[in-house]
Structures are given as C-alpha cells and as structure tokens.
Structure 1
Amino acid sequence: MELFQLAFMQRALIAALLVGITAPAVGIYLVQRRQALMGDGIGHVAMTGVGLGFLMSANPVWTATLVAVAGAVVMELIRAYGKTRGDLALALLFYGGMAGGVLLINLSPTGSNANLSSFLFGSLSTVSAEDVTAISLLAGFVLLVTVGLRRQLFAVSQDEEFARVTGLPVRFLNLLIAVTAAVTVTVAMRVVGLLLVSALMVVPVAAAQQLTRSFKATFALAVLIGTGVTLSGTITSYYQDVPPGATIVLLAIGVFVALAVLATPLARRRARAAEQASAACDERCVPVTRRPADDVRV
C-alpha cells in the first residue's frame, strides 16, 4: 500500500501505536482516582514547554516533558496539601501554562499559528524521526511504570489509607502517577494534540469498563481499544484529510457508545441470573430459628 511507503506516515503510525498503548495504560489509574481531567490540565501546562522549545530552538517534546512533569508535581502537591484555595491555584496553573505557551511560540523566530495548531490538535506531517525516538523512550518509561508497578499503583488508586497502612510509599506513588501522566501527555501531543489527549486517556478506559469487571481485563481491553482507534484514526485522517486528533477521539467515543449499547442487555442478563440464583438459594436454604434455650442471660 502507498500509505506504508511514505516516510512521514510510517513515523506517524509508530507514534500512534505508542500513544494508543500508553494513554489508556495511564488513564486507568486516573479514572480509578477520579482524576479524569488531570491530563487536560497537564496539557495546558505542557504548552509552555512547547513554546520554550521553539524559543530555545530545541526539540519541543523534551522541553514539554520537563515543564509538564514539573507542572504535574505541583498539581499533585496542591491536591495533597491544598485546601480551600486549591482549585484557584490549579486554575491559575492551567490558564497560565496555556497563555505562556502561546506567548513563547509567537516570540520565537520559528513559531507560527500553524505550529501552534499542530501541537493543540495533532498533525501527521510534523512527526519527525527525532520525535519518534523521543516518543519511544518516553513510552518505554510509561509502560515500565504502569505495568511493572501495577499492583502498587492500583492499591493507591483504590484506597490511599489502606495502601498507607500496608506500608506502601503513598506519597511517592502519587507523584509517580502524576509524572507518568505528564510524560504520556507529551508522548501523545504530536498525534492527538494537547487539547484532546485527556480524552484518549479516559474514553478507552470508560469503554472497556462497559464489558469488563476486573482491573486486569479492563487494562487489556482499554489498551486494545486505544491502539485500534489511534491507528484507524491516523489512517482515516490521511485518506480523508481531516485532523488526526479529532478523528481519533471521535472514533473512541463511537466505540464507547457501541459498547455501552452492547453492555445493556448483558447487564440485564446478569441481573436476571443473579435474581434466579438468589431465588433458588432461598428455596433450598432452611431458615435457622432460635430456641428459647439458646438465649444466654447474664
């Protein structure tokens, strides 16, 4: 096929594959922690890193990673220690990050509105060989953390107090989740865009939860959905000349809707099976009655 003979599409497909794997792998922990919009906030902050890269004539992926990691750490500290002013501080961080990125890109000699749009919404033609190398290294770090420490991260995401009682380093693991989410945002920004990356971290996980019950099954299905929509969205954007980020996110939402419709009759069948099992147990079980002699009086 002509598609696979083009160098820029080869790079774009490799990047899309890595994004499809890493985004749901991190997103499942964010969904468990009820921090589904954290990726959106990190994306705003990473915009300053992109602008800094243009201003310094450096690779924006690396500068965005550094700034996004710093912003994610600040966000986690605000979440852990911030009280009544926490929401205001996060809002200032988000909006300041986006405004700083726009300003720095326009101040840089190589910056332009086209460059800004490619980072906000993704672009196939802007994925360079250097970007693929950076994305591959960052994706390897993300998978190492999300798969290698899945038991510890799941415990912290489910119940921090229980994890602390069992002796897990809760504060370190919380910061690690935030840092990994920041790295994932910079991995995905070339393909999906900073404004849409949060959807790719959340929607495949939400779609997988329609059919699965266990964490392991949800993780595997979410990664499968993420990989499928990123690759198919990238190919569709090439043939139809549409933005890849928007195409990928709309495909992910379409999968979510389809699985939600499919899951409805399955949920009804499970409910009926549970009712029948409960009724059968009630018929077989003999109720235990107490005798007066069994009462203990002091």
Structure 2
Amino acid sequence: MDSLRELVLSLQQAGYLPEMFQYAFLTNALVAACIIGPLLGALGPLVVVKRLAFFSEAVGHGALTGVALGILLGEPATQPLAALFAFCVIFALLLHWIKSRTQIPYDALVGVFLSFAIALGAALLLYVAKKVNVHILENVLFGSILTVRDTDLLVMLMLAVVCVVLMLYSSNRALISSLAPDLARVRGINVRLYDYVFVLLIALVTVASVKIIGAILVGALLLIPATAARLISRSGREFFWYSILFATVSCLLGILLPMAGALPIPSGAAIVLIASLSFLFALLVRRWRSLA
C-alpha cells in the first residue's frame, strides 16, 4: 500500500494530480478507485450475459445485515469485515444452491432473498443505530470513499489478484460455460463449478465495494458500465474493455468531482450517476451508428 501511495504522491508532486492528493485519505480514495473500477468492469460483462444483475443487488442489500451483525458481535463499527464477508458469501451461495435444486423462477427466488435481506437488515440497523453514530450507517448505505483504510485497499487488491489469475487461466472456459452451458458440458467443463466460483466472486467484490459505492448502489456499477459497453461493442473483446473503461472512468470521476466540490453528494451516488451518463453516451453512439 505504501508503494501505491508513493506513486500517487509522486504524480501529485510532478503536477499531474491536484495538490489535495498530498493527504493520505485522498490518496487511499484514488487507489481504491483504480482497483475497484477495473475489477467491477471486468466482471460486469459476465453479469450481463448470465443475467445476474438482480442477484448482485440482493447481495449488496445483504451487506446491510452483515454490517449490523458485525457490530452486534463486537466488531468495530467502521470495519465489521468478518461478519460482512461471512454473511454475504453464505447468502450468495445459499441462493445459488437453492436455485440449482428447485424449479422456482430465478428472478422470483432472488426477489425473496432480496426482500429478506432488506427486512432483516432494516430491523437490525434500527437496533444498532442506538449504539453507534448514525453517519456510519449512512456510509454503509450510500458509500463514503474518504473512509477507505489500508485494510480495505488490501482486501480489494487481493480480490483483484485472484480475479486476474482466474481470468488468465480459465476465462475461455468460464465464457463458454456462460454462453453455451450444454456445449461446455460436452467439452468436459464443470459448468456448476464455474457457476459457483463466479457467484462467489460477485459476492466478494460486491462486499469489498460497499464502502465506496454503498450497499444500495453497488449492484449498479456491475450492471450499468457493462450494459453501456454492450450497446457499442462489435466483439466480445470490445465488450470486455469498454466495460472496464466505463467503470473505471465512473469511479475516478465519481471520486474526483465530489472532492473538488463540483458534486456535493456521496461518492457512491456520484459514481453511479456518472456511469448512467456513460449509458446515455453509448445510446447516442449506437443511434449515430445506425443513422450513418
């Protein structure tokens, strides 16, 4: 983490970044955006292809319950990492396990889990709010990148490394499993294993992003950049890289603009609003291409 901060500080001293990045908490915010933006952008295309957008929303709302449980179990109110990750991972795997063993429509099943997560999270948060500063809970709901700490950055970096390794060694098999599961089974690919691994990655990345984007909005950054990228992409490669580009730019601008005072709103809201602008931009580009 120190080497990343030194890199940002050297860029600031060289005049490439504003003077405000001499402060450590702002440097942490920028480093977090550079990690989580490409990570969410890289996973987004598979979320869109596998139609798991609603699933990521459910996991994000499950984070509310995880945070409340962590505080109730005695974890620091600003870092309830163990309960947060444990609850959301169990929540995601249980949801996918039930889906694979029942005939319930997936959107209906996710809706049941989402409703449960919101109800339980709301009940516990109302109880926890009497014991902690209410602004901590606002940060969980809407994100506050200025509260990012070294532990958060380390978790994001570890997840990014895991995702890169998985993409290097199994991206083609994962893609075939998503697009043509029957063909994948004929080729001897364990489709169920790849489904569980991908669901687990979504859960972990979603939870790691909660502090930046907020539990309510985190699913949007998996969905919107990838959807925008799909509108203007002519190939799978373009789909992947445009999604990363839109997600990363959204994260960077969503952090820089509130810091500069141009958008006096939480970082999570700013990031999602800018991602929505990228979707509008993609719509215009697609329309222009159809008329050309």
TM-score range, shorter chain: 0.7 to 0.9
Note if 1:91 corresponds to 2:108. no
The residue number in structure 2 matching 1:65 is 85
The residue number in structure 2 matching 1:205 is 226
Match of 2:70 among 18, 41, 53: 53
- 1:82 corresponds to which residue? 102
User: How far did residue 110 of structure 1 move?
Assistant: 5.3
- C-alpha distance after superposition, 1:26-77 (max 9, x if no partner): 1211100122221101111222221222222153234322221111111212
Specify whether residues 263 and 249 from structure 1 end up closer, same or farther in structure 2 by C-alpha distance, changes over 3 A only: same
Aligned residues: 269
1:216 pairs, out of 233, 237, 247, with 237
Give, in whole Å, the separation in 2 of the partners of 1:89 and 1:8.
40
Q: CA deviation at 1:147?
A: 4.6
| Aligned partner letter, 2:246 | I
Write the letter of the residue equivalent to 1:98. I
Q: 244, 255, 268: which one pairs with 1:245?
A: 268
Residues 61 and 135 (structure 1), Cα distance of their counterparts in 2 relative to 1, 3 Å cut: farther
1:23 maps to which of 25, 32, 40: 40
Note the C-alpha offset of 1:85.
7.5
For residues 47 and 115 of structure 2, the distance between their equivalents in structure 1, rounded to whole angstroms, comes to 21
Select 1:194's aligned residue among 215, 233, 243: 215
Q: Give the letter aligned to residue 113 of structure 2.
A: L
* Amino acid across the alignment from 2:90: A
Question: Which deviates more, 108-117 or 159-168?
Answer: 108-117
Residue 162 in structure 1 maps to residue 162 in structure 2: no
| TM-score, scaled relative to structure 1 | 0.83
Extract unaligned runs of 5+ from structure 1: 270-298
Task: For 1:184 and 1:136, locate their aligned partners in 2 and report how far apart those are by CA, in whole Å.
Answer: 11
Q: Is the 8 A contact 1:54 1:110 kept in 2?
A: no
Q: Distance in 2 between matches of 1:144 and 1:32?
A: 21
For residue 199 of structure 2, what is the aligned residue in structure 1? 178
Question: How far has the Cα of 1:106 moved from its partner?
Answer: 4.7
Please give the residue correspondences for 1:107-126 in structure 2 after superposition, counting only pairs within 5 Å. 107-108=127-128, 111-126=132-147
Q: Show CA shifts across 1:143-194 (max 9, x none).
A: 3334542111111111211211111001110001100100110121111111
| Distance of 2:285 and 2:22 partners within structure 1 | 38
Question: Does the C-alpha gap of structure 1 residues 47 and 143 become closer, same or farther in structure 2, counting only changes over 3 Å?
Answer: farther
The answer (yes or no) to whether the contact 2:53–2:223 under 8 Å persists in 1 is yes
Q: Structure 1 runs of 4+ off > 6 angstroms?
A: none
The verdict on how the C-alpha distance between 1:132 and 1:25 changes in structure 2, with shifts beyond 3 A counting, is: same
The answer to whether the 8 Å contact 2:144/2:211 transfers is yes
Q: Would you say 1:257 and 2:277 are equivalent positions? A: no
* Greater gyration radius: 1
Q: 24-33 vs 93-102, which deviates more?
A: 93-102
State whether structure 2 residue 28 is matched by structure 1 residue 11.
yes
Q: Which moved more, 1:235-244 or 1:80-89?
A: 80-89
Structure 1: distance between partners of 2:144 and 2:167: 27
RMSD of aligned residue pairs (Cα, Å): 2.1
Amino acid at match of 2:83: T
Inter-CA distance 89–145: structure 2 relative to 1 (3 Å threshold):
same
CA–CA separation in structure 2 for the residues paired with 1:157 and 1:226: 21
Q: Matched residues in 1 for 2:23 and 2:131: separation?
A: 26
AA aligned to 1:232 is L
